[in-house]
Structure 1
Amino acid sequence: MSPLSWDGCAPATGRTETVREIGTDVPGLALRVTAIGASELVAAVSGGDRLLLIEAGAERPDDAGPARIRVEWRLPCTGATALWTPATGTRWLPPSWNTPRTASLPSGAPVGSLIATGDAALCTFAVAESLLPVTIGEGAVEESGEFVWWVEHELTAGGEPLRLRLDLTQRHFSETLADAVAWWAGLGAAATVPDSAFLPVFCTWYALHLDMTAADVERLAALAAPLGFAALIVDDGWQTDEVSRSYATAGDWQPAPGGFPDFGAHVKRVQSLGLAYLLWHSLPFAGDRSRAAELLDGQILAHLPELETSVLDPGSAPVRAHLVERLAAAVEAYGVDGLKIDFIDTFARYAKDQSAVAVGVHRLLGELDARLRAVRPDLLVEHRQGYVGPGLWPYATMVRATDCPHNAVENRVRCTDLRLTAGPLAVHADPLTWHPTESPEQIAVLLQSVLFATPQVSVDLARQSPEQLAALRFWLSVAREHTDLLQRGGFRPHRPELGYPLLEARRGSELAFGRYAPVPIQVAGDWGLLLVANADPDPVVRLHFAKEPGRLAIVVQDCAGTAVATADSAGDERELALNVPQGGLLTVRRAR
């Protein structure tokens, strides 16, 4: 791609470009549509009240390749504080000449939001395309003080136009993103997610890494079940007796003969504890010492010598058949309850033809899903950030934050970002892990940081003190008792430019906050139950009620759930300051 211009325009293509300026009633909005490689442009704008739907297509393409459509728009960059994208990262306002991003089925999602003071969305956009690549440019224009966006997409053979949704209503950014997700769902992106996808999970990765046996896994499973975990993910290591950090043996997906001699019996023993059993697979890899590398020689996208593996080509029918057969064996032969499918974004990272790889991944996931759902309609399937777009919804039940061990803030931010556009999927935290001498209070803070997601944990449970286990047990019980409120309620994160120091969820008459900085909490609307998890060292939790709340029953619990204070309040004051220890929980109930 040629260099971007300083004013934020997309680079020239050298092909025929047919351009149309589109007038709107939105003050300050400039909108332009370009057909690339076509002599005729078809464009329409519908909607109103600062909510626009642009449909753009092309006719009479030239002979230089498929026609493409580009939509560009710009606004005054006034009051902007953050640029939100689903990949997570710094919330800076990039310059207009920053490298564009590409969203497709195996990588990212075509959505974003420019956020202003007070969490208002200056502009939230979403593109209807859920499979093929969409190129997205976005950034501040130095010369004009505007913020510019452009999205570009190759027209499909069927002539489907590019469909772009612009929300300029300046509502809370989470509301505009929720509406974009609902728009995607209305276009056909559906998924069936069982309740079990939202329950706490124990993962073996940080606890054991590759050095594991069936006995090791069963020992941890026996300790995890009484604490409140509902599922176990057996991660990398079950398929190899090697313990080095390479993928040289990946691709065969057979239980390691030394560590897992009778895999089916092992799975049944774990399930007898009341835990669902999920099994990790790295979908793209065929290791240098695997039988798969020999069988699929020549059907690869790239070789990665530093990882001792090749990246398979999902567009190859033999590759898809091999992967479907091997992953299906885990369910059909060994009776596992679900799969953790990893590294799908690697397909896109090494693709020379992004469109072909996206189509190949779509076929692979569709063929795998059809095979597995025939055996297990309630199968659990975990995908991971950054393959998070609506095209993956039908093939997953949960989506997990990218690896961020020992990092409470990053885990919180990533889970929050996922919640905003995950649609029906359960959002899972990256497995929480900590040093064996970590304090119970800090363990509670780790769990509070992912309070609005499904908690995953990965530590050696046998090395935990009774106090550490008490904190873990208590916060898992909170997660399970209030799953609907915390994970399925209306979700409102605050101040993305500051790393979400306050998170809020509401469902019916129940209201919950996660407090990660010494900020006041505004309590509005009708409510009967109020929960506040205090993860900040400052113990003074300040509640500001929109109206006099009436009589209140107040309970403060420490990190292990022990009540350290109880009180009643007449509720005739609109401000209340309460001491809640770090890692503790404040519960307030209104008298009926």
Structure 2
Amino acid sequence: MLTTSTTEVWEPYAEPIAGPVQLIDCGGLTFRATAEDSTARLVGEGIIELVLTSADGPVRAEWRLPCVDVTALWTPDTMAGKGIPAAWSAPKEVSLSRGAPIASLVGTGDVGRCTFAAAEVDVLAAGGVFEETGEFRFWVQAQGRLTLRVDVSGRHFARCLADLTAWWLADRGIGSVDIPATARKPAYSTWYSMHQAVTPEAVEEQARLGKELGLDLIIVDDGWMTPDRGRGYGHTGDWEPLSLPDTAAHVARVHDLGVEYMLWYAIPFIGKESTVWERFQPYALSRAESLDAMIVDPRCPAVRAYLADLLCRAVEEWGMDGLKIDFLDWFAREEAPPAGPEADCATVSEGVDKLLGEIRTRITAVRPTALVEFRQPYVSPGLWPHATMLRATDCPLSGLDNRQRTTDVRLAAGPIPVHADMLMWHPEEPAEQVACHLINVLFAVPQISVDLATLTPQQHQSLVFWLGIFRRYEQTLQQGAFEPARPDLGYPLIRAHDARVQIVARHAALPVSAAGAWDELLVANADTDPWVRLTDGSGSATVLVRDARGRSVWAGSIDLGVPGGAVFEVPRGGLAELSRDAVGRGFRRN
């Protein structure tokens, strides 16, 4: 049972706000509410709903709990780390285009000590250890209204987060989100493999080779709109397909291969080299001098109309299947200046929402299964109606970062498929390491970004094998119950399961629980230690062990109930397939 300290020290290390102050006891916590009106009620076992309102001005909720047996503070901001901050740490500004209003204080055994989410998109939030008492203090602030769910049920932190993202859906009256099938399929991206050296011939060749591997989507990134290869953003803003002449015919040729096509846009930028640089000077929200560009103000109808027309052209005129919309977070990089006389939105978030809503409406009118990709850190639930996929932010060749980022996004993404940052590797990369790159993002959608024409036979075999696993077990991997372990250690063990299949990715020499009523249990080993120990099991199972290239290296039967656990060898980058059914379900071939 959680209890609160009797101390009356409530200093939140934040600027004070005006308004009546009320202390509210609910569910074993005491909340300090600064608002004209505030209520709290239990909406489930260990789940508290707090509502604060004020006719004019900000409202704030503060609460604290003993910081006992705590291991991590989880937030969707991977860059912030998972350590325990101090109460005087700077608060985080969360908005429609940056972050998500959700966090979890995690305890030993991955228990959610205190997990919360706000219904509002734009909030100011902080949490940290109050040194004087050893308590952990949270505070959240919003303008006019704040609705919080606080979960102290003591369940696995991922379960608490999943319930809060489901609450977001229900609170917004969304019910469900329609996701096109292609959004969950492995894809090819041109970014790391081509950077800005995009040509129709190169794109079509990678689309052809990717289709043979099971990549049904190609995403063409930066470079298509300029012959400049300097990797700056001075040439953004006109969005003419200068590197993809006869664009509609080019897209049709990719479609003839059976591959869908998405096109990248850095949506907020107008570059100095564009023809509209002077025209949009009055609409500058801020300047990005280092990028040779300005960020335009989405509060202005003229800005939204211009950007929507350009982005929608890709689908409406060229036949694209969707848009990769990048740099949304730059709309919220700096405090916005007062809205100009042409603005029709009170906030930047409102302008971004209107812009994205218009784009989504127009492209789905032409193509109902149109795809839209956003990227970490813009993972707000307020963006869910506009997105079909969320991608981890860039981390080239870093399997650890890709694992952490896809996991963090997945925990906050609700129904939206999560894509890994593009996978690349050195031409001499061994097949085992290629497999480990894929295992690191096993519970996300992989995007491949290497020259497929230069793959070694071993790399090719590994890619074929693991992409087959992604596709065959898509339902369990992406939509099963998701249980990552030890956020404080970078998620060394991750599990997903449904009614009959359990899949575990092992990134350290840790035992794997075989508990539960599964029919199939898959264990992917990305650690150098090949000895996998299964604990908590009962009965027997047939086992097929494959190496990183999908080749069978051992098959047999094991006793899951042996004292100390069943132990067998799975090579690095390999996969063990266990089945309780001896009639071959664990022995399926690719």
Same fold (TM over 0.5): yes
Measured against aligned partners, the alpha-carbon deviations of 1:152-196 in whole angstroms (never above 9, x if no partner) come to 0011xxxxx311101001110000000101110111245211121
Q: Which amino acid aligns with 2:128?
A: G
| Matching residue of 2:343 | none
1:334 aligns with 2:318: yes
Q: What residue in structure 2 maps to residue 143 of structure 1?
A: 132
SS of residue paired to 1:363: helix
The structural deviation recorded for 1:508 is 1.4
- How many angstroms apart in 1 are the aligned matches of 2:229 and 2:15? 50
Shift of 1:524: 1.5
Q: 2:299 aligns to what SS in structure 1?
A: coil
1:590 corresponds to which residue?
580
Q: How do 1:143-292 residues align onto structure 2 when only pairs under 5 Å count?
A: 143-155=132-144, 161-188=145-172, 189=174, 190-256=176-242, 259-292=243-276
2:257 aligned partner, one-letter code: L
Match of 1:245, SS state, is: coil
How far did residue 484 of structure 1 move?
Answer: 0.4
Alpha-carbon displacement from aligned partner over 1:315-334 (angstroms, at most 9, x marks no partner): 11111001110111100111
Does the CA contact (< 8 Å) of 2:323 and 2:373 recur in 1?
yes
TM-superposed CA distance for 1:213, in Å, is 1.1
How far off is 1:581 after superposition? Answer: 0.4
Cα distance in structure 2, aligned partners of 1:532 and 1:260: 43
Letter of the 2:170 counterpart: G
Greater mean deviation of Cα atoms: 213-222 or 79-88: 213-222
Q: Per the alignment, do residues 141 and 7 of structure 1 end up closer, same or farther by CA in structure 2, a change over 3 Å counting?
A: farther
Matching residue within 349, 357, 372 for 1:366: 357
Counterpart in 2 of 1:481? 472
Q: Work out whether 1:17 is the aligned partner of 2:1.
A: no
Q: Which moved more, 1:413-422 or 1:49-58?
A: 49-58
Deviations 1:453-497 (A, max 9, x none): 000110111221111111111111110111001111111000110
1:487-525 superposed Cα distances (whole Å, 9 cap, x missing partner): 111110001100000000001100100000000001221
Q: TM-score if structure 2 supplies the norm length?
A: 0.93
- Residue 321 of structure 2 corresponds to residue 321 of structure 1: no
Identity %: 44
Cα deviation 1:216-274 (Å, max 9, x = unaligned): 11121121110111100000011111100111111111101xx3221111111111111
CA contact (8 A) 1:512 1:532 kept: yes
Structure 1 counterpart of 2:557, which letter? D
**Equivalent residue of 1:370, what SS?**
helix
Instruction: Give the one of 426, 431, 437 matched to 2:422.
Output: 431
Residues 280 and 340, structure 1, Cα contact 8 Å, conserved in 2: yes
The 3 A distance-change label for structure 1 pair 570 and 404 is closer
Name the counterpart of 1:497: 488
* Cα distance, 1:380 vs structure 2: 0.8
User: How far did 1:570 drift?
Assistant: 5.3
Determine the structure 2 residue equivalent to 1:63: none
2:22 maps to a residue whose letter is R
Match of 1:51 among 18, 33, 47: 47
Q: Which runs of 5+ in 2 are unaligned?
A: 1-8, 339-345, 583-590
Q: Which residue of 2 aligns with 1:62?
A: none
Aligned position for 2:545: 556
CA contact (8 A) 1:554 1:567 kept: yes
Which secondary structure does the structure 2 equivalent of 1:33 belong to?
A: strand
User: What CA deviation, in whole Å up to 9, does each residue of 1:119-140 have, x standing for no partner?
Assistant: 001100000113xx20001111
* CA apart distance, 1:549: 2.5
One-letter amino acid matched to 1:97 = W
After TM superposition, give the deviation of residue 7 of structure 1 in Å.
6.6
**Between 164-173 and 304-313, the greater mean CA deviation after superposition:** 304-313
Name the counterpart of 2:37. 41
User: Could you tell me which of 552, 555, 558 is aligned with 1:566?
Assistant: 555
Structure 2 contact 101–118 (Cα < 8 Å) conserved: yes
Partner of 2:512: 521
What is the aligned counterpart of 1:84 among 59, 63, 74?
A: 74
1:325-370: per-residue Cα shift (whole Å, max 9, x none)?
Answer: 0111100111011110000000001342596111110111111111
Conserved 8 A contact 2:26-2:48: no
Q: Contact (CA 8 Å) 1:471, 1:559: kept in 2 or not?
A: yes
Is contact 1:8–1:96 with CA below 8 Å preserved after alignment?
A: no
CA distance in 2, matches of 1:426, 1:348: 24
For the pair 1:108 / 2:99, whether they are aligned, the reply is: yes
Tell me by how many angstroms 1:25 deviates. 4.3
Contact 1:51 1:169 in 2 (8 A): yes
Q: Indicate the SS of the match to 2:227.
A: coil
* Superposed structure 1 runs of 4+ greater than 6 Å apart: none
C-alpha contact 2:13 2:88 (8 A) present in aligned 1: no
SS of 2:235's equivalent in the other structure is coil
Task: Give the aligned CA root-mean-square deviation in angstroms.
Answer: 1.6
Aligned to 1:295: 279
TM-score (norm 1): 0.93
Alignment of 1:342-421 (within 5 A): 342-352=326-336, 356-421=347-412
> What is the match of residue 158 of structure 1?
none
Q: In structure 2, do the counterparts of structure 1 residues 467 and 8 end up closer, same or farther at CA, with 3 Å as the change threshold?
A: farther
Local SS of the residue matching 1:415: helix
SS of equivalent residue, structure 2 residue 71: strand
> Which of 445, 454, 467 pairs up with 2:458?
467
Deviation at 1:98, TM superposition (A): 0.5
Mapped to 2, the partners of 1:233 and 1:529 lie a distance apart of 34
Deviation by residue 1:412-462 (Cα, 9 ceiling, x = unmatched): 011011111111111000001111111111000000100000001101112
Say whether residues 1:578 and 2:568 are aligned partners. Answer: yes
Tell me how far apart the structure 1 counterparts of residues 54 and 568 of structure 2 sit (CA, whole Å).
62
- In structure 1, stretches of 5+ residues that fail to align are 1-5, 60-65, 156-160
Q: Distance in 2 between matches of 1:244 and 1:372?
A: 31
The Cα shift of 1:43 comes to 3.0
Residues 357-396 of structure 1, C-alpha deviations (whole Å, 9 max, x = no match) = 1111011111111111111111011001101011111100
SS at match of 2:436: helix
Structure 2 Cα separation of the partners of residues 384 and 572 of structure 1: 44
Residue 571 of structure 1 deviates from its aligned partner by: 5.0
Q: Residue type matched to 1:498 in 2?
A: L
- DSSP 3-state at the match of 1:565: strand
Is the Cα contact below 8 Å between 2:26 and 2:42 reproduced in 1?
A: no
Q: Which amino acid aligns with 2:354?
A: R
Greater CA drift, 353-362 or 574-583? 353-362
TM superposition shift of 1:541: 0.6
